[in-house]
Structure 1
Amino acid sequence: MADSTPLLLSRSESSNESKQPPPSLDETIEHCIGEFGVAQLFQAILVSFAWVFDAQQTFISVFTDAAPTWHCISDSCTSASDICHLPQNSWAWDNPNDTSIISEWGLQCASSIIRGLPASSFFMGCLIGGLMLATLADSMLGRKNLLFLSCLVMSFSGSFTIFSNNIWTYSALKFVNGFGRATIGTCALVLSTELVGKRWRSQDEAVSILKSIATAGSSGILMSFSNLEFGKESWNVDTYSAIKILLKKKWACRRLLTVMAVVFGIGLVYYGMPLGLANLSFNLYLSVTFNALSELPASLVTFFLVDKLNRKDSLLVFTTLSGVCSILSVVTGERSANLRPLSDYKISPV
C-alpha cells in the first residue's frame, strides 16, 4: 500500500494537468515575445509618429487658410470699412510675410464657400478614403504596407501644395492628402498595441458584449473563448464583405448607424473648435497651443479610467457635457460681440 501511493498521486496529477485548458492567444504571444520590452516600445513609438504628421496635415489649415489682418494707408479708409469696397491702394496687410491662401491669391472678397473649399476637400478625401481603404489592411495590403502607403501619399500631396498657383489646384491636392490620411489612425493604433502584453491593452469586453446581444436560446455563447484555436480562414472575402454582413443583420445595422451618428457629432466639435480658432479675437498661435494642451488631461483620464468606466454611460455623460459647453461658448461669444467698448460712449460732464 505504501508503494502504490506515489503511483496514485502521479496518476491524479497527470490527469489534472491533462484537463488544463490550452493557452490563449494573448498568453502565447506573451510567451514568445514577452509582455513588454524594448522592441515593443520602439515599435509603439515609431508607429505613433504617423499621428504627428496626421495631426499636422489635419490642422495646418488653421494657419494656411486664415484671413490676415489689415490696416488703412490712406485717409479715405477706416478700420470699420468693408475691405471689398476699398481701393487696392488704400489698405495693406499688417504682416505681408505671414501669407495665407487668402492674401496670396486675393480671396479676401471671395465667398465663404470658396475660402472653405480646401478644408472641405480635405475632409471629403478623408471620407472617401476611409470607405475605399479601410478594409485593405485586413485583406490585401496589411497594416504596415497600408500605413506606409498612406504616409507616402500624404507626404507627397502635402509637399506638392507649395507649387499650387490657385485655390483649385490647392483644393485638389488637399483632397488627395485627406484620401491618403484616412486610415493612418486605425493602422497606427493596431500596430502600436498588437505586439504588447494584454496587461497594457484595454479589455475589449468581448465576452460580456456577446452575452448581452445573444438571444436567450444561445447557450453556446456562455462557453469560454480560451479553448478556441485560431486558424486561418479558408473562405474568400472581398473588400466590402463586412458591410454586406452588417446590412443583413438589422441589430448590427442599427448599432452601426447609432455609432456613426455619435462619432459624427463628436467630430464636429473635435475638428470644428480648432479649425474655428481664427475667428477669435486672440493670438492664433496661443489659441492653437491652448487647444492642443487641453487634450493632455483628456488623454490621461482616458488612459487611467478606460477600464473602470462603462462605455455607454461615460459616452453619454461626456458628450452631453461637451455639447452644453459648446452651446455656452456660442452664447458667451455672441454676448461679448454685442457689448460696446467704453470708448464708444460719450460721457457728458454733470
Structure 2
Amino acid sequence: MTADSTDASGRITLSSIASVAGVSVSTVSKVLNGRSDVSAETKGRVESVMDDLGYQRRPARRRGSVVDLVLNELDSLWSVEIIRGVDDVLDGAGASMVLSAVHGRSSNTREWLDQLAARRSNGAILVVSELTPQQRKRLVAMDIPFVLVDPVGSVDALVPTVGATNWAGAVSACEHLIGLGHQRIAHLAGPRQLLCSRARADGFHAAMERAELAVPDGWVSYGEFNDRSGRAEMTRLLDRTAARGEEPPTAVFAASDLQALGAFEVLRDRGFAIPQDVSLVGFDDLPVARWTHPALTTVRQPLLEMASMAATTLLRMIDGEHVETLRLEMATQLMVRGSTAPPVPRA
C-alpha cells in the first residue's frame, strides 16, 4: 500500500484507486457497481489495483435507493446536461431519481423539503439558487445526505460541493481574445448574486487588468443565463455606444452559451458579421454551441462530469463511506471555434 493511498482516517479512497489505475473516479464507481460500459481491460486493471491496495468493498445500501435531484428550472439545456449526468450514475447503481424544480422560490423549496421527508428519500443533489442555513439544518435533522452542485455563495465547510474553475475559465476566454489583438472587449455577465457569475466577471476583469486594458462604463452588464437576457444585454450595449458616438466592442465574452446565442442574434440583425466585426465567446460548451454558424468559441464547463461526480459522491455517502474531499472543482477548457478571430480595422 502506498503512503498516499489512504485518507486521514486510514481508509482507502476511490480517488487513490483511480489515480493508481489511471482512470477517473466515476470509472472506479462503475466497476464497483458492476456496470457493463467499462472495458474488460479497464475493469481488470481497476480490480487489480483494489486487490493490491487491500480495498474492502462495503455492503452497498444504494440499490433501491431514492435520490432527489432538485434544480431551479427543468427547461434549459444546462439542466438537461446535469440530469443526464446524474441519471447515468444512478441508473447504473440501481437507484431511482425524483426530479423537482423550485424555480428559485424559497416557498417551493420548503414544499420540496416537506415532500422529501414524506417519501423518505435516501439523499439529495441540489442545484438551486440558494440553500439557506435553515434548509440545511432541516436536511441534517432528517439525516439525509446531500451534495451541492455549482453552489451560489459561501457554503458551510462540511457540505460537499461540486463546481468548476469559473475564474480560470473566464481568464482563458479573455486572454484568448486579447491574444488575437482585441482591446475593446465587453462582458455579458450572469446573475450578480451567483458565485459562478461573480467568479467569471472577476476573471474577465483580472485578464483585462493584466493586459492593462480599460473597460468602458457599462461594458459589463449583469443579466440571466438565457438567450433572452443575452439579447437584452447586447441591445443595451449597442444602443449605449451608439448614443455616445463610441465604437462598439470588437469582442464580447458572455457568461453562458445561451447569452452568447442571444447576443449572436442581435449582432446579426444589426449587420455585424461574426467574427469579422465582432468576436464572440460563450461559457458552458452546450451541444448547441457547435450548431451555430460559425460554431461558437466557448469555455467548456464539464457539466456531465460534475453531475456524475455529485451523484457518485452522494452514493458513497448513502453507503456510509467517508468522503475525503468536500470541495471539488473540475477544470474548464477553452474550446476555440469559428466565432473568434483577430479584429479587422474599421474604416
TM-score, normalization by structure 2: 0.22
Structure with greater proportional strand content? 2
TM-score, normalization by structure 1: 0.22
Structure with greater proportional helix content? 1
Larger radius of gyration: 1
